[in-house]
Amino acid sequence: MKSDIADLRRNYTRDGLLEDNAPNEPLSLFASWFEQAVEIESTEANAMMLASVDADNQPHLRTLLLKGADERGFVFFTNYQSAKGQQLLERPKAAMTFWWHDLERQVRIEGEVERVSDEESDAYYHSRPVGSRLGAWASPQSEVIASRQVLEDNLARLQAQYADQEPPRPEHWGGLRLKPQLIEFWQGRPSRLHDRLCYRLVDGQWQRERLAP
């Protein structure tokens, strides 16, 4: 490598996160931070890293896009038959992380995973561009395929099949919701003395505590 990785560093000076300015529950703070990220970030503000675990306790990590967030949890969509989908349905716990570079902020979320309702999956599926809807049918996600041509051929066949009608949502494709049990907000500060406020759900109530950086 041309760069010395150990010498790469950045001093965070943009903002702080103090208890006086933080609510007693985390969801309104997430909504506020997310809206600021949408306004300021140069990349997709809803991009997140999602971690799952397989049958051998091997962690898996990938980048997804958040598609919904409310008091019930954080929603994303996937092929239920994919490696990710099977891992999350068989071991329904996960963690996700948002990193907003321009704001010098990170949010970590941990909790249980559940399928969203068919109605929610249908509504989002039919809001997507037609190419994305057909893509959900065309790609046997996570399976080994012989070449790119397999996908191109599948898509061409589906385009002909649904030329005069709306493609239905595949039964194997839909939404998952991470129901948070822990949400940690990280704000970069100078000298690596970052602010970390952690909210834990205990007996149905959010408890807030400060963590050392």
Q: How many other C-beta atoms are found inside a 10 Å radius of the C-beta of residue 127?
A: 10
- Measured distance CA(65)–CA(205) in Å, rounded: 28
The residue from 14, 62, 192, 210 that is catalytic is: 192
- Concatenated DSSP letters of 154-170: HHHHHHHHTTTSPPPPP
HSE, CB side, 13 Å, CA atoms: give it for residue 114. Answer: 9
Q: Exposed/middle/buried for 92, CB within 10 Å: 0-12, 13-18, 19+? A: middle
Is 210 designated active site? no
Angstrom distance (rounded) from CA 205 to CA 189: 29
* Per-residue DSSP letter, 2: -
Asked if 119 and 169 count as a contact pair (C-beta separation under 8 A), the reply is no
Could you give the residue numbers annotated as active site? 192
